[in-house]
Amino acid sequence: MHSRLFIDGEWIAAANGAMFDVINPANEEVFHQVAAGAASDINAAVKAARRAFDEGPWPRMNGVQRAKILNKIADTIEQQTQQLARLEVLDNGKPLPEAVWDMEDSAGCFRFFAGLAQKSDNEAEEQIALDDPGFKTTVVKEPVGVAAAIIPWNYPLLMAAWKVAPALAAGCCMVLKPSELTPLTALELADICHSAGLPKGVLNVVTGLGPDAGQPLSEHCDIDKIAFTGSVPTGSKVMAAAANNIKNISLELGGKSPFVIFADADIEKAVEWVMFGIFWNQGEVCSATSRVLVERALYEPFLARIAEEAKKITIGNGLDEGVLLGPLVSKGQQEKVLAAIKRGLDDGARILTGGGVPAQHQNGCFVEPTIFTDMNEDSWIWQEEIFGPVVCIKPFDSESEAIKMANNSRFGLAAAVMCADDERAQRVARAFKAGIVWINCSQPTFAEAPWGGYKQSGIGRELGRWGFENYRETKQITTYISEKPWGWYLGR
Ligand code: NAD
């Protein structure tokens, strides 16, 4: 396990020597310490990235050359999947099979963007037609420059991959700041990239607290682009800080995503996907479908069936066999989720199952899978992101009512619909005000498809060719090709 900052190809201590604890949320034990980077370390990292961008080989390589290194990074993540996944479980708490899945997705993400880098050589220049034959315009794509990536703790390596892979593919140089709650796999990624031959200074990783390391990074005037994933309040601070030098920004923020189930849906499939949409990764998922709307005729049978299944989920240490719900990431997150549950009860909602700390897991940051019903549409638990294994379920009577309730949110990250009538599903999918819509499922995510939200869920898109464009500038080069003099001042 690394414990130092990775700057300009070297492992170094924080300038002020500070460290912070890394805690296993399954037992609340401190198992490691990592350098607490601050403004001067951010300065050093930005300087290294700037030099690598202005003078180094990376932005000057072609896409085929960059793809070779990105593919090597993917190979190494695949080879080290088991070790990396175990580290992720210690740091974050998630069940091991989920962590393994994250590692496979991270490798897949590097491979996908290697493919785009390779293709980009042939698409780098485009001639466009103008309505004036005296001119010719070529459009070229270039890397944005020095990018900063600030990421959360719920998918530590995968969230890093979603930013590092496209940024490197485009030819950018970077500073990555992982969450202080889960810093370990980002440091491993630095090591993997270095061993794969990434030139020094291209990827710098500074661990540290949000206000001490994240804030100076988002304010830094030598950063050209900032890609942030996290909560709305922090996203808003990052956006304000980015205004310093008008940075290009993309924000992936929170959500309170609806899942609309019509009465003709298969109840077993509905229960399975609703559970996956909220209990997977302990509900610490930005796109979790945490507001469930069920058509009245199915409502009572659905409640009975999901309560029965939610009680059967095996809770425990993510490293233990058969566990499907691990601890939340930290004591602080556990307290936040328990406070949200109390608020729901205080506001008059009813708990169908769960609602507390599991009796056999008092030690660690565990919360039971919790199902709420009978809440008002304007209540706090129906409207606000809880970021834990807590789902709210309400009935509806018509398609138009379901759409209205689904869209009644300040968020717009994701939405899902399940019904037997495909025409209706397509209609509802188009009516949702959300950037990601699932039909007959919830959560499956692919490196090829755009990811991002409407409204307060963010700005811009990650993944796919849209994510790649995040890290590229578009330049027009216009040439005067006419033999005729311009004739504005001379020859009048
Ligand atoms: P957070 O906003 O608390 O922290 C995110 C990152 O920002 C961390 O690295 C943190 O250290 C840093 N940070 C904190 N204060 C900062 C500041 N003043 N300036 C700059 N950086 C600062 O979020 P979190 O608790 O780590 O993650 C949970 C949130 O992330 C949820 O709201 C979730 O919905 C969201 N999320 C969104 C997506 C998405 O794709 N839309 C994906 C994952 C998580």
Domain boundary assignment for the chain: 5-253+457-477, 258-439
Q: How confident is the model at residue 121 (pLDDT cuts 50, 70, 90)?
A: confident
For ligand 1, atom 40, which residue shows the shortest CA distance?
A: 252
* pLDDT at res. 105: 98
What percentage of the chain carries pLDDT values higher than 90? 98
* pLDDT at res. 122: 78
Sign for the pseudo-dihedral over CA of 119, 121, 122, 125? positive
Q: Is 467 in the pocket of ligand 1 (CB under 6 A)?
A: no
* Segment 195-242, tens digit of pLDDT: 999 999 999 999 999 999 999 999 999 999 999 999 999 999 999 999
* Segment 337-362, tens digit of pLDDT: 999 999 999 999 999 999 999 999 99
Best mutation site among 22, 175, 179 for ligand 1 pocket (most ligand atoms within 8 Å of CB): 179
Q: How far is the CA of 187 from the centre of ligand 1 (A)?
A: 18
**How far from 280 is each of 31, 273, 324, CA to CA, in Å?**
25, 10, 8
Q: Is 450 in the pocket of ligand 1 (CB under 6 A)?
A: no
- Give the separation between CA 302 and CA 294, rounded to whole angstroms: 8
* pLDDT at res. 244: 85
* Segment 158-176, tens digit of pLDDT: 999 999 999 999 999 999 9
* Segment 73-106, tens digit of pLDDT: 999 999 999 999 999 999 999 999 999 999 999 9
412-432 average pLDDT score: 98
Q: What angle do CA 12, 17, 21 make, to 5 degrees?
A: 95
Best mutation site among 154, 177, 217, 451 for ligand 1 pocket (most ligand atoms within 8 Å of CB): 154
Query: With contact defined as beta carbons under 8 Å apart, do 147 and 226 qualify?
Result: yes
* pLDDT at res. 77: 98
* Segment 50-77, tens digit of pLDDT: 999 999 999 999 999 999 999 999 999 9
- The rounded mean pLDDT for the chain is 97
Whether residue 367 has pLDDT greater than 80? yes
319-335 average pLDDT score: 98
* Segment 375-397, tens digit of pLDDT: 999 999 999 999 999 999 999 99
Buried b / exposed e over 353-376, threshold 16 CB at 10 Å, is bbbeebeebeebbbbbbbbbbebe
Q: Is 211 in the pocket of ligand 1 (CB under 6 A)?
A: yes
Query: With contact defined as beta carbons under 8 Å apart, do 204 and 77 qualify?
Result: no
Token look-up 């202005």 returns 54
Q: Does domain 5-253+457-477 have CATH number 3.60.20.10?
A: no
* pLDDT at res. 109: 98
- Give the separation between CA 93 and CA 332, rounded to whole angstroms: 14
Complete edge-to-edge strand list for the sheet that includes strand 472-480: 125-128, 135-143, 472-480
Q: Does domain 258-439 have CATH number 3.40.190.10?
A: no
Written as one string, the DSSP assignment of 70-103 is HHHHHHHHHHTHHHHHHHHHHHH---HHHHHHHH
- Residue type at 204? N
Query: What length is written for the chain?
Result: 492
Whether residue 492 has pLDDT greater than 90? no
Nearest alpha carbon to residue 91 among 155, 151, 149: 155
* pLDDT at res. 180: 98
Q: How far is the CA of 232 from the centre of ligand 1 (A)?
A: 8
Whether residue 45 has pLDDT greater than 90? yes
Whether residue 193 has pLDDT greater than 90? yes
Q: Is 250 in the pocket of ligand 1 (CB under 6 A)?
A: no
Q: How far is the CA of 131 from the centre of ligand 1 (A)?
A: 47
- Give the separation between CA 281 and CA 92, rounded to whole angstroms: 10
